[in-house]
Amino acid sequence: MEPLNRRRFLRTTATLAGATWLTPVGQYLARAAEKDDEPTAKSVIILWMAGGPSQLETFDPHEGTTIAGGTTQIKTSVKDLYLAKGLEQVAEEMQSISLIRSMMSKEGDHERGTYTVKTGFRPDPTVVYPSLGAVACHELPVDKTEIPRHVSILPSQWPARGGYLGDKYDAFLMHDPAGPVPDTQSFLPKERDQKRISSLDVIERTFSRYRQERVKETLHEDTIKAALKMMSSEQLKAFDVSQEPAEVRQRYGDTAFGRGCLAARRLIQAGVRCVEVTLNNWDTHANNHQFVAGNLKILDPAFAALIRDLRERKLLDKTMVICTGEFGRTPSINPAGGRDHWPNGFSMALAGGGIKGGRVIGATDPEGKKEPTGQVHVGDLHATVFSAMGIDYQKINQTSIGRTVKFSEGNPIEALLS
């Protein structure tokens, strides 16, 4: 049986109250159920911690235990909810952020783990699954967006892909927003550039003669038009964080990641569906505490500023923010002072887009010997995000070779959805 959440209760009660067009009570409950079913999230921002961050030095500290290795914890704005030292600014925003401390994956390799968390599926040689952002772009309206709706800032070596949905849903790759947007400026004088475009049009029309169906299949003409439209679009200014007041830029931190998070907020405002911002160097097989402390100085102000900024601009309810990596780190510390790969019981943070704040899902063993309680599998995360965005996570899709697959084989985490 499905869990009886608020929206299902309202629909059931409306039915029991009689035909909705006959009774005032039925009409009221039906309207409430319909309103409750409206998707909250319109966009998603993924803060990707490439390399696998240690949960013990971030979102799941166990101060005073052997597995903590000296890590201390700090209070947050939510009673009895603690974070590791170094996340002081994020701690102030925990009323808007919830944690999953029992994430489970079967992949402990960087490439395979990245693929699994980004797509919700383990690697399969017979099909390439689309990433979360690709599905969002495929399923949600285009609106008036003239720039790529799927963007990866400071991408790792395994950026988000469109998979069986097609390459056009691959993330547009962007480096430090302090620099120019790649591939949007012609290296030719304007007059010569226009002549090239005119010449290309002649070639296109000549080729398409007697080949209409083939031309439609390639989408070459549509791609060229979309690229030219993007290159001249005013929406490209969304990438330019220098247009923000100095005070706002300072909140995010003078780092490439901080600028990436600020650009993500600007891009969401412009209608982009998914922005992934990567922070590298979490592969702490040696000197774990030292490297994590350095990364927290970058993550803490940027993550907290993003949550505050979205809230102040009334965008937080419409934008889901996810902070995670491909897996976590072992409870034990190795001889090099590092922690190794650990896909069983790692942590991630979620906020906005219909996610209830101040919640903790699952728990890990303080001694690092038992399996986590309240386990959440990667597919459940994707089902939760899709549900919040009004996307049918069980929708049946067909790949190019005729294989039928769903967007997710998990189940939504009802405790997180408001």
> How high is the pLDDT of residue 188?
66
Q: pLDDT tens digits, the chain, 418 residues: what are they?
A: 344 555 555 545 544 544 444 455 555 555 544 445 566 899 999 999 999 999 999 999 999 999 999 999 999 999 999 999 999 999 999 999 999 999 999 999 999 999 999 999 999 999 999 999 999 999 999 888 999 999 999 999 999 999 999 999 999 999 999 998 887 766 667 777 677 767 777 767 766 766 766 666 666 666 666 676 677 678 899 999 999 999 999 999 999 999 999 999 999 999 999 999 999 999 999 999 999 999 999 999 999 999 999 999 999 999 999 999 999 999 999 999 999 999 999 999 999 999 999 999 999 999 999 999 999 999 999 999 999 999 999 999 999 888 999 999 999 999 999 7
Residue type, 308: R
Q: Whole-angstrom Cα distance, residue 65 to residue 368?
A: 10
Q: What angle do CA 98, 169, 43 make, to 5 degrees?
A: 30
Cβ-contact 156, 50 below 8 angstroms: yes
From residue 200, give the alpha-carbon distance in Å to each of 146, 225, 226: 22, 11, 15
Q: How far apart are the first and last CA of the chain?
A: 20
> How high is the pLDDT of residue 25?
58
> In this structure, how many other beta carbons lie within 10 angstroms of the beta carbon of residue 63?
15
Measured in degrees and rounded to the nearest 5, phi and psi for residue 223 equal -65, -45
Tokens of 315: 């965008």
> How high is the pLDDT of residue 31?
52
Q: Whole-angstrom Cα distance, residue 50 to residue 110?
A: 9
Cβ-contact 161, 151 below 8 angstroms: no
Cβ-contact 152, 118 below 8 angstroms: no
Q: Are strands 43-49 and 319-324 parallel, antiparallel or unpaired?
A: parallel
Tokens of 352: 């906005």
CATH class of 41-177+240-406: alpha beta
> How high is the pLDDT of residue 205?
72
**pTM for this predicted structure:** 0.86
Domain boundaries, the chain: 41-177+240-406, 181-235
Tokens of 12: 């059931």
> How high is the pLDDT of residue 272?
96
Nearest by Cα to 90 from 103, 77, 102, 71: 77
Concatenated DSSP letters of 7-21: HHHHHHHHHHT--TT
In eight-state DSSP terms, residue 339 is: -
Residue type, 244: E
3-state secondary structure 131-146: CHHHHHHHHCCCCCCC
> How high is the pLDDT of residue 79?
97
Cβ-contact 290, 333 below 8 angstroms: no
> How high is the pLDDT of residue 19?
43
> How high is the pLDDT of residue 110?
98
Q: Whole-angstrom Cα distance, residue 382 to residue 413?
A: 10
Q: Whole-angstrom Cα distance, residue 278 to residue 154?
A: 5
> How high is the pLDDT of residue 195?
73
Helices (H), 38-109: 88-91
In terms of phi and psi (left: phi > 0; alpha: psi -120 to 50; beta: otherwise), the region of 265 is alpha
In terms of phi and psi (left: phi > 0; alpha: psi -120 to 50; beta: otherwise), the region of 361 is beta
